[in-house]
Amino acid sequence: MAKQYATPGVYIEEKSAFSNSVVAVGTAIPAFVGHTQKAQAGKRSLLNTPMRISSLVEYLSFFGGAPKTLFTVEADGDNYTVSVDPGSAYNLFRSVQLFYANGGGTCYVVSVGGYGDEVGAKTLVGAENGGGITALLKELEPTMLVCPDAVLLEEGDCSSVQQAMLKHCGADTRSRFAILDVWGGYQARTLLDDDVVTRAREAYGNNFLDFGASYYPWLKTTVVQPDEFDYTNVSNPDGLIEVLSKEVDDNVSAGLLKSEKGDLIKAEISKIGDSGADVSAVSNVLKAVSPIFNDILGQMREALNIMPPSGAVAGIYSLVDSTVGVFKAPANVSVSSVTGPTVNISAAEQEDLNLPLTGKAVNAIRPFVGKGTLVWGARTLDGNSQDWRYINVRRTMIMLEQSVKFACEPFVFRPNDANTWLAVKSMISSFLRSQWQAGALVGSTEDQAYQVEVGLGTTMTPQDILDGYMKVIVKVAISRPAEFIVITFQQKMPGGE
């Protein structure tokens, strides 16, 4: 209704020249859930609170650094063994390092506890206390979910966490994608009942498979540096003293070391059990005189540098999204800060990973001569689905759905009439046109790439309008990867047609 003017004069009215527009939501924002050194922003606790960060420096300021992982050293006849104390191992910090090393940017971190706290399935999921994965229900921005500490649990508990991740992405939010690790994925496949990939497929369950992808094998990384270790990383100093003292005795007996110097070295070795000793000085002396001590430190570093790939893969997703777009498959991309996968997979061995009867494809990470270590797969766990077989198709659809959803919110409670329908259709069509031009949608014409339908007799009945429903149908042809490129060669007669 036109405004009624009562006083003579000149009046100015402004009229909008442009309709509302759809803004593409972010796609490269993972949420990491796990244990951290601390969870503090000033005096405010960040425990079980999603925190947005944009760099490793910010992570360090809010959540601290790496865990001090402990090892047990035991003499075994003429040899010795070095093994990780399970209760001191945590994967989140190293995974965030890999995320940033592989092109990551903005992410969220949910700290569910500190170092020293037991890693538990209930803690990571957080359904009872509203923490963990559950805490992310209140956040709109994250688009990926990563939980690298899950593989530290017993196999059954890891399964429950990963199924909760898929449910969170595919049912609770329908706006996120889960990046899953294979439990025990540092081991080679046996193709028997104890095969790690077969067991992982069983553990993932059968629900919401199109909202997650799995990667195998684990990675040999370089994120852990040699200077991060000394003898205080050994939880049983008596065992280390025994091994190093035996080394000295053997060298003296073999005439490789004079007894006087042997006594001096043993005096240094005895300081391992002295809580008041200068740790740096003693460690430096032992590094200089004991090959076995250096080997033990090397084994510690090697053990911690074997990491599940989810953090690095999240970084690759972010890198591909920012440089090309979410519609590009996150594959055929090299993994940074790694020396290679823990298991070398051949093309023949990848067949079962990529095309299993169950459809639960597990994406391979493989080394290639002259190229480095590449992610060599782009399938979701719903590999038998023609709709949701590919990661980029599912993630592109999430982006389109969420972008259109947020853009349509201003039209809630608007009159459900032709003017509103035209505005909504024009807005969505304009957005899809830009996506088509960017390469997210395929088709030689706009009509082949997308269609937007809304209106009485088209998408709605008179009863729908009476009930307050405005129904919009959007059809899109999303770009799919050229996963199998077949080139056919045929001989032709010399000089022939």
Q: Which long-range contacts (CB under 8 A, 24 or more apart) does 260-269 make?
A: 265/289, 265/290, 269/241, 269/244, 269/245
- Among 80, 84, 104, CA closest to 186: 84
Read off the tokens for 320: 């591909």
Q: Could you tell me which CATH class the domain 30-223+306-392 is placed in?
A: alpha beta
pLDDT of residue 342: 97
Read off the tokens for 374: 């590449």
pLDDT tens track, the chain, 497 positions: 467 778 887 877 776 666 677 888 889 999 999 999 999 999 999 999 999 999 999 999 999 999 999 999 999 888 999 999 988 999 999 999 999 999 999 999 999 999 999 999 999 999 878 899 999 999 999 999 999 999 999 999 999 999 999 999 999 999 999 999 999 999 999 988 899 999 999 999 999 999 999 999 999 999 999 889 999 999 999 999 999 999 999 999 998 889 999 999 999 999 998 888 999 999 999 999 999 999 999 999 999 999 999 999 999 999 999 999 999 999 999 999 999 999 999 998 899 999 888 889 999 999 999 999 999 999 999 999 999 999 999 999 999 999 999 999 999 999 999 999 999 999 999 999 999 999 999 999 999 999 999 999 999 999 999 999 999 999 999 998 875 667 766 777 786 55
- The β-bridge partners of 79 are 76
- Among 64, 27, 65, 31, CA closest to 49: 31
Cβ neighbours of 297 (radius 10 Å): 24
Helices (H), 307-346: 310-323
Domain boundaries, the chain: 30-223+306-392, 238-304, 417-497
Cβ-Cβ contacts under 8 Å for 80 (sequence gap 6 or more): 73, 74, 243, 292, 296
pLDDT of residue 430: 93
Q: How many residues does the chain have?
A: 497
Cβ neighbours of 97 (radius 10 Å): 22
